[in-house]
Structure 1
Amino acid sequence: MEILNASDAACKSEHQFISEHREKLPGVIETVLASMEDETCFAHIGDEPIHFSTSVKVMVDKFREVLFPGYFSKKKLDAANLAYCMGQNISELHDILSEQIVHVMRHDCLRYGQACTDCERRGQEMALAVIEKVPGVRQALAEDVRGAYDGDPAAKSHDEVIFSYPGLFAITVYRIAHILHQLQIPQLPRIMSEHAHSLTGIDIHPGARIGRRFVIDHGTGIVIGETSIIGNNVRIYQNVTIGALSLPPGSGKSLKGKKRHPTIEDDVIVYSGATILGGQTTIGRGSVIGGNVWITESIPADTKVFIETPRLIYRYKERENEYSI
């Protein structure tokens, strides 16, 4: 006669409980599969898959190695190995980028029944075209780094800005994604921007047009919409929205490609919590937008916009009685 101790009995009971529930899975699976016949829901079956965060992260990391040589490299760079290491990095970047471009182009071609556009050849050509712009992107990012350093007393060095500032990371990804967007490469620019968004809380649409010496201070909660135009030497703080006015239901398609987001001219500062909305809204050159303001109309150049200082209530406790001033 088998005698089970309390521990064995508990394990046997638990195993039986799990088995009974797993036996119900086939019926649940059939229910889920049946729901896929509902054409009002979305499914991505039989189509070319798209590489998402993991491979995009690898690609972004490789871009940073090329854009900031020596900062994010796995090896020490010096005069002896610079040409070899950078050549290897650029070659690897080209392979990763071309693969991603081919993948998203082939996906759209097959999924939406588009005419064949020779995805492999075009992917190679576009990857090369992007990498050819690396010197210009490096120059733009150098100005962004100097702008962040010059305007932030807390920054101890340019290296600190490059290594640790989330705003610079988001701007770096934006400047690459914007080139891909201009080349009309589908999916990939937005996936890249959402990768940066998930890490920094900074949401910059790759279609936005942003000038030199762009500085994002702190950064969390920033939104910059697709048709935004931002000039040179602009600084914005956390929780700023440069967005669109609320759209009527069903108007999304009719407004595609139209100017829906504001224009921020050169030398503007936008403080934390400000919301600036509308495609016809322009913030004039040299203006300062204070914290927590709500703007839906254009502001002339050299204008300061602030909310009137609210009345603060101080409540003190003295012995048993409270009083306010």
Structure 2
Amino acid sequence: MKDDRKDQHTCRVGEELTAKYRKKLPGVVDKILDNCGKDSCISHVDYDPIPSTENLEEIIDKLREVVFPGYFSKERLDPVNLSFVLGRTVTVLFEMLSQQISNSIRHDCMRYDQECSDCGDRGFEAALALLDALPEIRDVLETDVQAAFDGDPAAQSHDEIIFSYPGLYAIFVYRIAHKLYEMGIPLMPRTMTEYAHGLTGIDIHPGAAIGGRFVIDHGTGVVIGETTEIGENVRIYQGVTLGALSLPKNAGEALRNKKRHPTIEDDVIIYSGATILGGETVIGKGSVVGGNVWLTESIPPGTRVIMEPPTLSYR
């Protein structure tokens, strides 16, 4: 027969053990608070506002509903309800965008003691400007979708590309974020592209300048730096890095806002694993850069650069 007294004794010992360690928690909390209170670049305990990453993710989802109408809406769209649903979504987007943009501007203003820049008005103006630019952004994204379809025999339809290609998703987020970057909005553009980076493995800095008919095939491990310039009809594959040369220690401030990343001219193909570095490096129009090639100098138009075949050893 089960001994209930033994079970009760075990439970009391468990409670005493839990209490013994929980009593130590206030001291741990005090230690954390003391550490948070010091002047640190990784603390943000202040009264100034800060953008919400959750709201930015929702903004991206709603922007995708507008840019690709009918694909990602929670309700079915048809010609009868399109105007109503689109109008409602755009209105919600305007409110969310203007608030987050204002918070981003106000955050930098207060945290870094900048002059007042009318963050409220700028938030409304920038939100309206972004929404007003969506038809133009859609037109460029349409060329990206078409280029992906034209160059990929595995693609069965434009729908498949829009629904499932991580490269297109990363490019979509980049094109939205780039518009905000051009407006001088802090924090938001980089936060948005890093969100896409986390989902797709594709890291595109919002400052990069990228032309139409741009395709990232497969995509994982792609890095495109801030001052990269990419022309029209360029295709790159997984693992490609368009980066900066090795920087001297503490050179960040001296090189900030200077050209550090390569220029890729029109009609270039860059195959998987290729690394192209340096602000003075130009890949000429119509060139092909083979897989695993490492380039730190320019090549003229129409050049094909490939690695020598490796020697295999069989044992």
Smaller-chain TM-score range?
A: over 0.9
More divergent stretch after superposition (47-56 vs 198-207):
47-56
Assess if the C-alpha contact under 8 Å between 2:52 and 2:100 holds in 1.
no
CA 1:47/1:293 → structure 2, altered by over 3 Å: closer, same or farther?
Answer: farther
In structure 2, what is the Cα distance between the partners aligned to 1:282 and 1:10?
A: 73
Q: So what's the TM-score if we normalise by structure 2?
A: 0.96
Assess if the C-alpha contact under 8 Å between 2:145 and 2:161 holds in 1.
yes
SS at match of 2:252: coil
In structure 2, what is the Cα distance between the partners aligned to 1:64 and 1:9?
A: 60
Letter in 2 for 1:288: V
Residue 15 (structure 1) shift: 2.2
Q: Which residue of 2 aligns with 1:140?
A: 140
Q: Which residue of 1 aligns with 2:50?
A: 50
In structure 1, what is the Cα distance between the partners aligned to 2:193 and 2:121?
A: 25
SS at match of 1:253: helix
Q: Which residue of 2 aligns with 1:180?
A: 180
Q: Which residue of 2 aligns with 1:265?
A: 265
More divergent stretch after superposition (182-191 vs 29-38):
29-38
SS at match of 1:254: helix
Q: Which residue of 2 aligns with 1:119?
A: 119
Identical-residue share of aligned pairs (%): 57
CA 1:86/1:40 → structure 2, altered by over 3 Å: closer, same or farther?
Answer: closer
SS at match of 1:216: strand
Q: Which residue of 2 aligns with 1:78?
A: 78
Residue 37 (structure 1) shift: 4.8
Runs of 4+ in 1 over 6 A off after TM superposition: none
Query: Which whole-Å deviations, capped at 9, do the CAs of 1:11-52 have from their partners, x for residues lacking one?
Result: 322222221111111212222222245435532111334234
Q: Which residue of 1 aligns with 2:306?
A: 306
SS at match of 2:276: strand
In structure 2, what is the Cα distance between the partners aligned to 1:173 and 1:6?
A: 62
Letter in 2 for 1:64: R
More divergent stretch after superposition (11-20 vs 67-76):
11-20
Q: Which residue of 2 aligns with 1:167?
A: 167
Letter in 2 for 1:96: M
Assess if the C-alpha contact under 8 Å between 2:51 and 2:188 holds in 1.
no
Assess if the C-alpha contact under 8 Å between 2:190 and 2:206 holds in 1.
yes
Letter in 1 for 2:137: V
SS at match of 1:249: coil
Residue 119 (structure 1) shift: 1.3
SS at match of 2:253: coil
In structure 1, what is the Cα distance between the partners aligned to 2:271 and 2:185?
A: 34
Q: Which residue of 1 aligns with 2:240?
A: 240
Letter in 2 for 1:107: H
Task: For structure 1, list consecutive stretches of 5 or more residues without a partner in the other structure.
Answer: 316-325
Tell me how many residue pairs correspond in the alignment. 313
Say what the alpha-carbon RMSD is for the aligned residues. 1.4
Residue 236 (structure 1) shift: 0.4
